[in-house]
Amino acid sequence: MSKYTPHTEQEIAQMCAKVGVNSLDELYADIPNEIVNPTINIGEGASQFEVYAHIKSLADKNKCYSAVLRGAGIYDHLIPPVVTSLASREEFVTAYTPYQPEISQGILQSIFEYQTQMCMLTGMDVSNASVYDGAVAMAEAIVMCCERKNRAIITGKVNPQYIQVAKTYCYAHEIELIIVQDKDGLVDIDKTTHMIDDQVACVVAQCPNYVGLIEDMASIGQMTSSKGVKFVYVFNPISASILPTPAEVNADVAVGEGQCLGLPMCYGGATLGIMTSTKAMSRRLPGRIVGQTTDNRGNRCFVLTLQAREQHIRREKALSSICSNQAHNALRASIYLNCVGKVGLVQIAQQCIDKSHYLAQQLCKSGGKLKYKGEFFDEFMLEGGINTVERLKEQDILGGLPVDNDTLWCVTEKPTKSVLDCVVEQYKEAK
């Protein structure tokens, strides 16, 4: 057994004496006899070296592919070494939520910079300090919009996991959720318009959507504005550097998954929920928000603010109970965006476009067919292709995601041309 406690036996005895007990067990006299000292069957501890060997052996049981051509919500992008290095600074890692601004300016400023970057990407007025993930961000956005109305519409091809999470949140908040089927992989604007009545609070659409297509968000935004309902835009932070911003298409709330900004795939765990809104909606945003102010010496400084929205002040009247968020992942995303910068992010987005279109075109030249006609960003649905995915395992390549009988492919800036050519070869041979 290893331990992280400094106490010697002698010190324990001295401290017990000072406290006025004869043993450590005596400290627990309040626990009823019937339940004290249970057996805990988790085995005994081990040295750090043995534990590392055990954990490493588990990690080695996983299969890591040398190239990943799959997204569907979790993306394999290049991660600059400086991102991991800086985010690992122990102060950032071992601090709590910055409740004491005088000794937390580093974290508060980093969140303020993160909020600014999210507003730059989306064009929105306000960002919070993050929520648990993209799916929760979308669900919380629906809850934000349902102020006096209790019906929400999700339209088009929205990530199915996000819809599942939204269903749970809507069940909890007693909001009726309506799912409007897509038309040829895109939002059916006419059908969606007809579904809007005086109880509908908001319309949710994702762009690029789950099957990779770029939606006509401008028309959806015009429609929601004219109908007087809120518009929730689910965006991708990488494509956001190129596509019209949520603000430009009249979104009221823009949410997204920030895993693509310098975070590993890690089985979809520990990602980043981005939430931004218009100024008008800002007081309904959940979670932490950092604001700029001054200290008693006149310096610019940063502090957690608009806390009257939050659970520790409003208790049962708070819209959300979120307390801990994904702060350290927001820090990572912020470092990533500073590292790639204004030009680099556009370059990355353009390479995603170039490489995904190259693969799609080569597959089509080899007899493949895309399931949908619309313009896509870096993901596309190929008719069939499941055999190819199977064959690619042998080539150490994780192919597209099987969806019914088709496959959803994603090409980021990371795979090389030779990987893409290999996919095409395997596709030809599989046919």
Partner 1 sequence: MKLVFEQSVQGRMAITLPASNVPSYTLQCATRKTQADLSEISEIDLVRHYTRLGKQVYGVDNGFYPLGSCTMKYNPRLNEQVVELEGFNNVHPTQCPCETKGTIEVMTNMQQDLCAITGMDYVTLQPAAGAHGEFCGMLLIKKYHQSRGDTLRKKIIVPDSAHGTNPASANMCGFEIVTVSSNKEGGVDIDNLKQIVGPDTAGLMLTNPNTLGLFDKNILSITRIIHDAGGLCYYDGANLNAIMGMCRPGDMGFDCVHLNIHKTFSAPHGGGGPGSGPVGCKQMLAKFLPTPIIGKQPTVEYSLGKVKSYCGNFPVILRGYTYIKTLGSSGLKQASQLAVLNANYLRILLQQDYTTAIDRICMHEFVLDVKDYHDNYSTSALDISKTMIDYGMHPPTMYFPLIVHEALMFEPTETESKQTLEEVAEIMHKISIRAKDSQDDLHASPVTTPIGRVDEVKAARQPILKYQPQ
The least CB distance from residue 284 to partner 1, in Å, is 14
Q: Distance (Å, rounded) from C-alpha 200 to C-alpha 193?
A: 11
Q: Distance (Å, rounded) from C-alpha 274 to C-alpha 408?
A: 24
Site for partner 1 in 394-413 (CB under 8 A): 398, 401, 413
- Taking each helix axis from N to C end, the angle separating 417-430 and 386-394, rounded to the nearest 10 degrees, works out to 120
100: tokens are 């004491």
The least CB distance from residue 368 to partner 1, in Å, is 17
92-123 residues labelled b (16+ CB within 10 A) or e (exposed): beeeeebeebeebbebbbbbbbbbebbbbbbb
Give yes or no for residue 102 binding partner 1 (CB under 8 A): yes
Nearest alpha-carbon partner for 79 in 262, 323, 213, 278 = 262
Give yes or no for residue 148 binding partner 1 (CB under 8 A): no
Give yes or no for residue 53 binding partner 1 (CB under 8 A): no
Give yes or no for residue 61 binding partner 1 (CB under 8 A): yes
Angle at 310 between CA 306 and CA 313, to 5 degrees: 95
The least CB distance from residue 335 to partner 1, in Å, is 6
Give yes or no for residue 420 binding partner 1 (CB under 8 A): yes
Tell me if 179 sits within 8 A of 266, measured CB to CB. Answer: no
Tell me if 63 sits within 8 A of 401, measured CB to CB. Answer: no
The least CB distance from residue 382 to partner 1, in Å, is 16
Q: Distance (Å, rounded) from C-alpha 431 to C-alpha 422?
A: 14
Kind of pairing, strands 273-277 and 126-127? antiparallel
Give yes or no for residue 224 binding partner 1 (CB under 8 A): no
Give yes or no for residue 86 binding partner 1 (CB under 8 A): yes
The least CB distance from residue 322 to partner 1, in Å, is 6
The least CB distance from residue 199 to partner 1, in Å, is 17
Give yes or no for residue 68 binding partner 1 (CB under 8 A): yes
The least CB distance from residue 349 to partner 1, in Å, is 10
Out of 93, 183, 191, 431, the residue judged to bind partner 1 by CB under 8 A: 93
Site for partner 1 in 157-176 (CB under 8 A): 161-162, 164-165, 167-168, 171-174
Q: State the DSSP string of 114-150.
A: HHHHHHHHH--SEE-S-BS-HHHHHHHHHHHH-SS--
The least CB distance from residue 431 to partner 1, in Å, is 22
Nearer to partner 1 by C-beta: 144 or 196? 144
Task: Classify the C-alpha dihedral 375-267-142-168 as positive or negative.
Answer: positive
Tell me the three state secondary structure of residue 9: helix
- The interface mask with partner 1, positions 184-203, x = CB under 8 A, is --------------------
The least CB distance from residue 13 to partner 1, in Å, is 11
Kind of pairing, strands 253-257 and 273-277? antiparallel
Q: Distance (Å, rounded) from C-alpha 74 to C-alpha 263?
A: 10
Give yes or no for residue 64 binding partner 1 (CB under 8 A): yes
Q: Distance (Å, rounded) from C-alpha 201 to C-alpha 175?
A: 10
Number of residues lying near partner 1 (CB under 8 A): 198
Q: Which residues are CB-neighbours of 136 under 8 A, at least 6 positions away?
A: 165, 169, 273
Give yes or no for residue 312 binding partner 1 (CB under 8 A): yes
Nearer to partner 1 by C-beta: 12 or 191? 12
Q: Distance (Å, rounded) from C-alpha 42 to C-alpha 260?
A: 37
The least CB distance from residue 151 to partner 1, in Å, is 16
Q: Distance (Å, rounded) from C-alpha 79 to C-alpha 84?
A: 8
Site for partner 1 in 262-281 (CB under 8 A): 264-271
Site for partner 1 in 227-266 (CB under 8 A): 240-245, 248, 257, 264-266
Site for partner 1 in 320-349 (CB under 8 A): 320-329, 331, 335, 337-348
Nearer to partner 1 by C-beta: 97 or 193? 97
Give yes or no for residue 113 binding partner 1 (CB under 8 A): yes
Give yes or no for residue 106 binding partner 1 (CB under 8 A): yes
The least CB distance from residue 250 to partner 1, in Å, is 14
Site for partner 1 in 21-50 (CB under 8 A): 21, 24-25, 27-32, 34-38, 40-46, 48
Give yes or no for residue 19 binding partner 1 (CB under 8 A): yes
Nearer to partner 1 by C-beta: 227 or 357? 357
Nearer to partner 1 by C-beta: 302 or 371? 302
